Chain A
Amino acid sequence: MQFDWQFFWKSLFTPSDTFLDGLALTIGISLVAMILAILLGLVIALMRRSPFALVRGFASVYIWVIRGTPLLVQLVIIYTGFAAVGIYQFNDVSLLGLSLKAAVQAAVVGLMVNESAYIAEIIRAGLDSVPKGQFEAAASLGMTPGKLMRWIIVPQSLRVMVPPLGNSFNGMMKTTSVLSVIGVSEMFLVTQSISSATFHTFEIFIVAAIYYLALTTIWTFIQAWIENRLARQLGIEQRVSIVSRLLGARRAAAAATPTLQPHG
C-alpha cells in the first residue's frame, strides 16, 4: 500500500482554497436549507391541523409524495426537469454581493422541500405530545390560537421536537454530498475533482471524511448545548454526556426523562 502521508497532512491541515470553498458551500447550503425547511415544515404541520379537509388533504399528499421519493430524483426534477419542460429555469443571480449559481439555488430548494416533509412530521409529533388540557387551559384564559401556540404549546413541544430536528440537520450536512449530481461544487464534488487531478483518491477522501466528521461532531456539541439549555428553561434537570451522545447511547437517557405532566 502506498499512502502519501505528505499529501494527506497537507490536504488535511492546509487545504486548498477550492476545498475550503466546497466546505463553506456545504455548511452554507445546509444552514439555509434547514432554516427554510423548518419554516416550510411548520406551515405543512399547521396545514395538517387545519379545520378544512382540503387543506389537510393537500398537506398529507405532500408528505406522502416527498417522503416516498428519493432526494436525488427530486433534485433532478427541480433543476433539470422543470427547465426542460419550461416550468422554471434557475439562473445565476447575485444576492447581497454573493453570486448564487443556478445549481446552488436548485439545491437549496430541493433540500428544503425534501426535508420539510420530515420536519412537518417532527413538528406534528411535538404538538401532539402536549396534553389537550394545556390547550384548554390556555383557551380558557382568553388566549387566541396564535398566542396559545406561541406561549404555551410551542415551548412545551420544543422539548420533543429539538432532538429529532438536530438529528435532521446532522443528516442534512452529510446529504449535501448528493448535490454533486447536479453540479454543486460542495465538498464532495471538490474532493472528487482533486482526486481525479492528483490520483490520490484514498488520501483526499479520507480528508473529506474527517471534515464531514468534524462538522457533525461540532454540531453534536451545539445540539447538546441547545437541548440542555432548553431543559433548564423547562425546569428539567437532565444532562446527557457528550460521550454517550457521540456513541449513540441516548435512548436510555431519554426514557429516564421526567414527564412534563403535572402529577395529581
Chain B
Amino acid sequence: MTATTEPIVSVRNACCMLGGKRVLDEVNLDVERGQVVVLIGPSGAGKTTLLRSINHLEELSSGEVLVGGVSIAHGAHGKKIGTTELARRRREIGFVFQHFNLFPHMTACENVWNAPVRVLGQPKAEARQNALALLDRVGLADKADSRPSQLSGGQQQRVAIARALAMRPRVMLFDEPTSALDVEMVGEVLEVMRELAREQMTMVVVTHEMRFARDAADRIIVMDAGRIIEDAPPDELFAHPKNERTKSFLSTIN
C-alpha cells in the first residue's frame, strides 16, 4: 500500500523551543504518500507542535521540514523564504484545527470556496460547484447557506475539513479534530476522516481516539517529552508495545 518513493512529508532533526522549553527534541519522521499516521502521547509531548511545524504554523529552532521534497521554511540557499512564497507552499497542506476556526462572516459554502477563488484564482462558479460537491461529501449539502454559528460543532468541523480539501492538498494535517466536540458528534467527524483514509489521502492526525487509530492508521507514532519513542503499525503497537512509557500511556487511556 505504501509506495517506496520519496516521502511526502519529511521532518529532519526538528527541534523547537517554546517559552524556554524544549518542545521538540531531534524529531525525525517520514510520511509516505497515502499513509495515515496517527500521533499519540501524553499532553505536552509535542504532538501538536510537530504537526503545526509541518505547515510552519510553528517555527523550528533547528532542523527542517520537507513537503514533497521542498523545504517549508527555507529557499534554495538555506535562506528563510518570504511570506508570499511561504503562502504558496502552504497551499498543498491542508490543516484541520481543534477549534475548527471557520470564518464566521461567511456561509459554509463561502468558507469552502473562498480560498480556491482568492488564492488559486479559480472562477467563482466553478469553485462554488466544487464547494457544494465537497459539502455533499461530508454530508452537509443542505447546510451550504448556513453560517458557522448556526451549525453544531461536528458540522462545523466537517465544513472545516471540506474547506481544507477544496485546496486539493497533497497531505492533510488534523490537530485533535474531535477534542472540542460533544461525544455524540465525534463519530460523524471520524467517519469523514475514515472515508478520506480509504481514498488514499495522506494524513497526519493528532488524536486521543484510540478506536480511530486502531482501524484507520497505517502507523502509530508515540511521542513523549518532545521525542518519538515508538513507531509501529497499530496491531503491533497495541499488542506488544516495546517502550515502557508507551505501555504506561496506553494503560492510562484504556
Contacts and interface: CB of A to CB of B under 8 A. Distances in A.
Residue of A136, A141, A151, A258 ringed by the most chain B CB atoms within 10 A:
A141
Contacts of B99: 133, 262, 264
- Looking at chain A, what size class is its interface with the partner chain? 20 to 34
Given A141-B163, A141-B167, A264 B87 contact: no
Contacts of B115: 138, 141-143
Contacts of B101: 131, 133-134, 136-137, 262
A147 B149 contact: no
Contacts of A263: 149, 153
Contacts of A178: none
B251 interface: no
A264 B95 contact: no
Contact of A136 (B57, B107, B114, B153): B57
B118 A143 contact: yes
Interface string A241-264: 000000000000000001011111
12 contacts: A133-B101, A139-B57, A139-B90, A140-B55, A140-B164, A144-B84, A145-B83, A151-B118, A156-B103, A261-B104, A262-B100, A262-B104
A143 B95 CA distance: 13
A261 B118 CA distance: 23
Given A235-B149, A263-B153, 5 more contacts: A134-B103, A139-B57, A140-B94, A262-B148, A264-B156
Contacts of A39: none
Contacts of B91: 141-142
Interface in A117-159: 131, 133-134, 136-145, 147, 151-152, 155-156
B119 interface: yes
Interface residues of B, number: 36
A131 B148 CA distance: 15
Contacts of B94: 140
A235 B104 contact: yes
Nearest to A134: B101
B208 interface: no
Contacts of B83: 144-145
A233 B103 CA distance: 13
A134 B147 CA distance: 15
B211 to A, nearest CB: 21
A214 interface: no
B133 interface: no
Contact of B119 (A133, A142, A261): A142
A156 B105 contact: yes
Contacts of A134: 101, 103
Contacts of B45: none
B117 to A, nearest CB: 9
B87 A142 contact: yes
Interface of B: 55, 57, 83-84, 87-88, 90-91, 93-95, 97, 99-105, 107, 114-115, 118-120, 147-149, 153, 156, 160, 163-164, 167, 180-181
A152 B87 contact: no
A143 B148 contact: no
Contact of A140 (B95, B102, B148, B156): B95
A235 B105 contact: yes
Contacts of A226: none
A214 B156 CA distance: 47
Contacts of B167: 141-142
Nearest to A234: B105
Nearest to B151: A262
B55 to A, nearest CB: 6
B156 A262 contact: yes
Nearest to B56: A139
Contacts of A143: 87, 115, 118-119
Contacts of B147: 235
A43 B41 CA distance: 45
A258 B150 CA distance: 12
A131 B98 CA distance: 14
Given A133-B99, A140-B90, A235-B147, A264 B104 contact: no
B104 A144 contact: no
Contact of A260 (B95, B104, B114): B104
A150 to B, nearest CB: 8
